[in-house]
Amino acid sequence: MAGIFQFKQFSVDQTGCGMKINTDGVLLGALAEAENPQSILDIGTGTGVIALMLAQRFSSAQIDAVEIDEPASLTATKNFESSLFAERLILIKQDFKKHFDEQTEEKYDLIVSNPPFYINSLESPKANKTVAKHTDKDFFEDLITGVVQHLTKNGLCWLILPLQAAELVKDLALKSSLFLEKAINVHSFEHSTPHREILCFGLNRHEAENSKLVIYESVGNYSTDYKLLLKPYFIAF
């Protein structure tokens, strides 16, 4: 059926959703982790694919998925309700900052976000050689502030970002005593320049681990690491 992406344990209907399933989202869904997370927040859930992947991975976790866009929130709700994990997934249709402001006592073991609007703006020609636009900086400042206030003591926040945004976020996080634990550079090919960075932050200071992930072995052929990472989810693998 057109618009349906079938995973091994769930399906995602992308109909009417501006942000389709993409490599960034599935990488974050497959890599983001915390120690036995019981409460998870997905900021900007879109189709709901990341929340669904996390629900598959962490069978006892309750997952809040925040989405401000009306069509996307309806799509995600439908995908949640038709999944095996429906009872553990809640769609919250509002701005993430408002959610943080209203749920002052809510704490999460794992917070994830793949913010496509900000990625797109940062990759516009006008932004190629500049720091993030002011509106983007405001977004990330609000995000970091909310994460610091709403992570559990040993909780983790995972983000996937273009390189410029990643540098901005690392600086903002450090100023807010949110410490980098892991940084994964994402490359299309072994010797290509990285185009994304997956960042993991926590409230406890650690020496950051740095690594790389290569998506393609050659044109049209996925790398072994990529296939192993997505094998629990993709039928093709």
Domain boundaries, the chain: 4-230
- pLDDT exceeds 90 at position 185: yes
The alpha carbon torsion through 85, 90, 95, 98 (nearest 10 deg) reads -140
What pLDDT sits at residue 8?
A: 97
* pTM passes above 0.85: yes
What is the mean pLDDT of the segment spanning 71-86? 95
- pLDDT exceeds 60 at position 203: yes
CATH architecture of 4-230: 3-Layer(aba) Sandwich (3.40)
- pLDDT exceeds 50 at position 74: yes
pLDDT digits (tens, 9 = 90+) for 88-140: 999 999 999 999 999 999 999 999 999 865 545 555 544 433 433 445 788 89
pLDDT digits (tens, 9 = 90+) for 8-39: 999 999 877 777 889 999 999 999 999 999 99
Rounded Cα distance between 48 and 50, Å, is 6
Q: In what order do the strands lie in the sheet with 209-214?
A: 89-92, 62-66, 39-43, 108-113, 151-161, 196-202, 179-187, 209-214
Give the type of residue at 184. Answer: I
> Where is average pLDDT lowest: 43-57, 69-83, 116-130, 210-224?
116-130
Rounded Cα distance between 123 and 78, Å, is 31
